[in-house]
Structure 1
Amino acid sequence: MATLTVRYLDSNGLLLNIGPTGARSWVFRYRSRTTGKHRDKGLGSPSVVTLAEARRKADVCRKLLDRGVCHSSRF
């Protein structure tokens, strides 16, 4: 069994994380404009959230960031 988290990139910051236990989750990864650090926003488990839904959620997050909405205040 792997001891690291594996990340598969879909597009535009959408990732599928697979943890050491096999747990899977969709994650939107972006860079904070204030700190310059990478931030992750969980979008749900693939058993609940389809790829199409995860892509739509990532698009919403990206649009909020483009409008300057802080990650902690809206999503």
Structure 2
Amino acid sequence: MSTSESDASHSPEDRATPDALLHARTGTEVAPEDVVLAAGRDVTPENLEWARRKIEAEGAAALDKLLP
């Protein structure tokens, strides 16, 4: 089987994102919603408050620690 045949059998969703395209931040402020979603939690008032406290305590590293 050639490489093109094996690539054609996989949908784009099956492929992993290349490391060069993964970014923790773009230099902008870290939003509580970002921390909640990176932690795999639902965006609820309680989780947003948890994220705000985490950002206050850890700064931007709060998001960096949750992402690969």
TM-score range, shorter chain: 0.3 to 0.5
Structure with the largest fraction of strand: 1
TM-score, normalised by the number of residues in structure 2? 0.33
Structure with the largest fraction of helix: 2
Q: Rg bigger for which structure?
A: 2
Higher relative contact order (CA 8 A, sep 6+): 2
TM-score, normalised by the number of residues in structure 1? 0.31
